[in-house]
Every structure is written in structure tokens, then in C-alpha cells.
Amino acid sequence: MGNSLLRVLSLFLLNTLLSCGHTEYAELTFEPNSTTLYSGEHVNLTCHMRESNVSEWFYEFKWNDKPLVPISSTNVLRIPELTPDRNGDYQCIAHHNSSEENRRSNRATLSVSAHRPRATVRASRTSIPVGGSLTLTCSVEESAGWSYDWFTRSPDAEETAIATNPVNNSLSISQGGSYWCRGRRTHSGFCSEKSHVHHIDRTLSNRSFVVLQHNWTQIFSGETISVRCEIQGGGDTQWEYEWRTTSSHQPVTGPDTAPTHSEYRLGTASVFHSGEYWCKARADWYSSTEWSEAFQLRVTPDKPRPRLTADNTTITGKGSVALSCSVENPSEWRYDWFRRTSASSAAQILRYNETDDGISISEEGIYSCRGRRGDTTFLTEDSNRVTIENRVSHKASVALQPDWSLVFSGETITVRCEVPADVLTEWEYEWTKPNSTTVPTHNEYRIVNASSSDSGSYRCLAKDKKNLNSTTEWSDDVTLTVSGEKEF
């Protein structure tokens, strides 16, 4: 009795153990054990028996609680080619070959992805530095358990596999080229899609620079400008160029601005062209220079206005004065000079496209200047105007004809105002003479029937008819004496 009670008790204990702890005695695992498997892959389901001899059991595999295959003595179920409709919960049940004992395993979920995942290549940097290398990394999303294959293009553009350690998903490269990779499931050989082709540039030691076509210190709105990409030791290489800028005028491909050329024509500069410019040059498909250092372009909105100065605004006689046209960075400009004869008359061009910012003039007039950018049509504003006066220093002189300083009443004598030779100027004259009421403006003053009232000092000066401010100096006095009686 006691004995049978003991047997019932131990059976009860065993039952308790079986009903509550049976999962500890059967375990279903997947091989490969991966969160995601892919269509076409195979999987091995294994029903592991703990603390018992595997060969004492028969195995039943269930899929979503439905029998999958007939009960057999093998604890491994191989599903050779997975499809997404094989998703679901799997469980194995072990039946002991000589007792009523059953063991149920855990339920394991299988998830089969219908799509073939694509490998992705990442590069540790954008290009291979001079004398260095970079690391490419291949990865496949969603699942572990991959090996990696790497490919590149041979010179004849064929796909070529690169020999590497397939377990390592990194590849170190020191040659520019096209690279792509593929993941391969280590256990099944199932392959991912190949990654996109990754284009890797090798950086050349040759450096690139952005320079302004004209090395001008300041650029003004309205100028026609180009920037150029220069390559240190560029040699005969047929470079192809790339441009980048922070300006709000982005490079556009077109016949005029085609930014694959060394020259990038910005056209007519505006403040919107201000910004930083970079270029790089490509020697071939896989090697290019680094981006140049930034070139700062600053476009000044307003045209400059030169300042015209004269060292003296008065020309004396046959002398001259120096005019100077000043603008910032004078050597970067050429100069046009203008002269007007009066404030209202039209300007006449005097000199054109002069290198020198100064000229010497000997003519009176109203002068102005402007700067021009040598080989372009860009002009500065016109300068201020400067009036240059001509004060003739030559003294007029009074001549008597006949040359007698003593004449007798009733005689005829001519008093003439003489100006040193200047055939071009038209003069008018001013006289001082004794007891005159009328002021003749002619150069000659004829005394007919001289009388004592004609005696006295005669002085004259000449004035330029076109500019009455321009005069000779007063002549010296010439004294005429009219004697009352001829002495016979």
C-alpha cells in the first residue's frame, strides 16, 4: 500500500515536471538561426532532446499546429527552399519509443522575406587621399550571417571579383575605381542583390586654384568676369573641371558657362556673384585633384568714380599743368581723358586707353577723365570736372609808328598794341590813354592831327576773345609828347 502510494506520488511528480517543465527537455532550433531568412534559402529545424538519448524518440514537426511531415525517427527537418508562405510558428513534439511520454518543444517563429535584400557599400571617406587608402564596408540589412564578395571593373570594363577574406565586410582600397559588393549567406550560399556601384576617386597630389581671369583687386557690378581653375603641374593632361560656389548664381551647364571647363564665365558681374568659389580637376574617371581652397569673390555694387586733380588750375603762357586721374588700384585701370571748351559744350576725347593715370596739358579747358578695364568695355563713372585757365604771361607792348616819341601838332601817328606771336588766339585790346572818352578795342590807335591832348602815357593789354579772363599783362608805359609848334 505504502509502496503503491509512493509510485502514485512519483508519477504525479513526473507529470508535474512534464506539464510544467517539458520545454526544458525538447528544444526546437533553426539553422541558420537568423531573424530573417530569404526566399530560396533552406533551413534545418532540429528538435534537441535534453538529458535523454535522441534515438529513443520519434519526432513530429508542427507548423501553425498542423502536422508538417509524418512522424519519423529523425530529429532534423530540412526545408530545402523557403517561400514566404512558410512563415509561421514551428514546434516539435517528441514521442518516446517505449513509453507514453511526450515532449513538446518551444514554439519558434520563422520569418521568410520575399525580397532579395540589396547590399550597401559605405566608404570611410569621399576619396582616397594622396598616398593613402580608404575603407569600404559592405552591409546587408535585416539579418546577420553574411559573407561578402567584392567586385570591381577590370580595365576592359568586365566585372572582376576581388580576392578577400569573405568574413570581413571591410575592404581597404588605394586605387580609384568602381566598387560594389554582394552579401552571401554563410550557410546557404544565398546571395543578396549586388550593391550599387560605388565610384571612388583617388586624390592627385596636383593642387587646384581658383583665380580671377584678371587679377583685379576689386570687382564691380557690371564688369565681365571669369574665374579660372589652375592646376599645379597640370602639364598636358586633358583635365575636366568641376565647380562649386556659395554664390546665389549657381554654375549652370551651357555654352557660355559650361562648368566642366577651366574657365567659368560668370558674365556680367552682379552682387549675386559674390561668394566662395571652389574648383577641382579630373584627370580621368577615377582620379581628380582635391577641391581647391575657397576663392572669395566680392562684387562691389557701385562703379568707382575717379578723382581728377590738377597741380595748378592756371596755365601761364606756354606752360603746362599735370592732371591726375585717381582711382583705387590705379595699375588695374586704363584712362580716357576728355576736354570741353565750356561747361555747356560737348566733351571731346583727348586721350584714349592710356596706361598712365596722369597727363600734361597746356591748353585751357574743362577736363575730366574716366577709368576703363583694358580689354573689356567696363568703364568707371566720369570723374569730377576741373577747369584750367590760361593766363598769358606775355606782356603786350605799345609801339609808335613812326617810332617817334616826339611829334608836332597836326602830325599823324599810329599807336599799336603788340602781343608776342600767338597766331591762333583772337585778341581784343584794352587801352589806357590820356584824356580818352572812348576805349578802342582794336590793336591800333591812329592819331590824326595830333594835338597836345594826345600827349601822355599809353598802355595796353590783350584779351583772348574766347575767354576774356585770359589776358596778357599790361604793357609798359610809352610816352608820346605832342609839341605845340613845329620849329622851322
Ligand X SMILES: *[C@@H]1O[C@H](CO)[C@@H](O)[C@H](O)[C@H]1NC(C)=O
Q: Work out how close the CB of 252 gets to ligand X at its nearest, in angstroms, rounded to a whole number.
A: 27
Q: Give dist(CA 65, CA 43) in Å, integer.
A: 19
Of the pair 18, 108, the CB lying nearest ligand X is at: 108
Q: Does 238 bind ligand X (CB under 6 A)?
A: no
Stretch that binds ligand X, among 146-154, 245-253, 414-422, 446-454 (CB under 6 A): 446-454
Of the pair 3, 238, the CB lying nearest ligand X is at: 238
Q: Does 435 bind ligand X (CB under 6 A)?
A: yes
Assigned C-alpha cell, 362: 597746356
Q: Does 467 bind ligand X (CB under 6 A)?
A: yes
Q: Does 221 bind ligand X (CB under 6 A)?
A: no
Assigned C-alpha cell, 365: 579747358
Query: Of 141-180, which residues contact ligand X (CB under 6 A)?
Result: 165, 168, 170-172
Query: Of 281-310, which residues contact ligand X (CB under 6 A)?
Result: 283
Bridge partners of 445, per DSSP, are 415
Print burial letters for 34-66: b (CB count within 10 Å at least 16), e (below 16): beebbbebbbebbbbbeeeeeeebbbbbbbeee
Site for ligand X (CB under 6 A): which residue of 175, 353, 405, 412? 353
Cα 236 to chain centroid, rounded? 25
Query: Of 12-41, which residues contact ligand X (CB under 6 A)?
Result: 29-33
Q: Give dist(CA 261, CA 227) in Å, integer.
A: 10
Check: CB of residue 314 under 8 Å from CB of residue 389.
Answer: yes
Site for ligand X (CB under 6 A): which residue of 55, 124, 268, 360? 55
Of the pair 57, 250, the CB lying nearest ligand X is at: 57
Q: Give dist(CA 430, CA 443) in Å, integer.
A: 8
Residues comprising the chain, all counted? 488
Q: Does 74 bind ligand X (CB under 6 A)?
A: no
Contact code string over 101-140 relative to ligand X, x by CB under 6 A: -------x--------------------------x-----
- Of 226, 158, 133, 148, the C-alpha closest to 181 is 148
How many residues in the shown chain lie near ligand X by CB under 6 A? 49
Contact code string over 386-425 relative to ligand X, x by CB under 6 A: ---x--------------------x---------------
Contacts of 409 (CB under 8 A, 6+ apart): 449, 450, 451, 452, 482, 483, 484, 485, 486
Q: Give dist(CA 338, CA 346) in Å, integer.
A: 10
